[in-house]
A = this chain, B = another copy of it.
Amino acid sequence: MAKPSSSLSTPHYGKPLAGWRLRWYTIIFEADTRAGRVFDLSLIALILLSIAVVMADSVQAIHQSHGPMLNGAEWLFTVLFTAEYIARLLCVRKPLQYATSFFGIIDLVAVLPTYLALFFPELHALIDVRVLRLLRVFRVFKLAAYVAEYQFLGRALAASGRKILVFLSAVLMVVLVMGTVMYVVEGQTNGFTSIPTSVYWAISTVTTVGFGDITPKTDLGRLIASFMMLMGWGILAVPTGIVTAEMAAQRQMQVSQAPTTRTCHECLSEGHGPGADFCSSCGARLPPYQQHADTAS
Contact = CB atoms under 8 A, between A and B. Distances in A.
A243 B238 contact: yes
Nearest to A152: B163
Given A125-B183, A149-B166, A166-B150, A234 B245 contact: no
A273 to B, nearest CB: 7
B279 A129 contact: no
B200 A226 contact: yes
A183 to B, nearest CB: 5
Nearest to A232: B207
Given A153-B238, A180-B129, A195-B125, A276 B281 contact: yes
- Copies of the chain in the assembly: 4
Nearest to A124: B184
Given A242-B247, A249-B255, A251-B245, A225 B212 contact: no
A89 interface: no
A200 B222 CA distance: 7
A244 B240 contact: yes
Contacts of A170: 150
A275 interface: yes
B240 A246 contact: no
B128 A176 contact: yes
A252 interface: yes
Q: Is the interface of A mostly helix, strand, loop or mixed?
A: helix
Contacts of A242: 237, 247
Contacts of A96: none
Interface in A53-94: 54-55, 58-60
16 contacts: A51-B176, A54-B180, A58-B195, A59-B195, A122-B187, A126-B181, A132-B173, A153-B238, A196-B219, A197-B222, A233-B239, A237-B244, A249-B251, A249-B252, A271-B275, A277-B281
Interface of A: 51, 54-55, 58-60, 122-123, 125-126, 128-129, 131-132, 134-135, 145-146, 149-150, 152-153, 156-157, 162-168, 170-171, 173, 176-177, 179-181, 183-184, 187-188, 193-197, 199-200, 203-205, 207-213, 215, 219, 222-223, 225-226, 229-230, 232-234, 236-253, 255, 257, 260, 271-273, 275-286, 291, 296
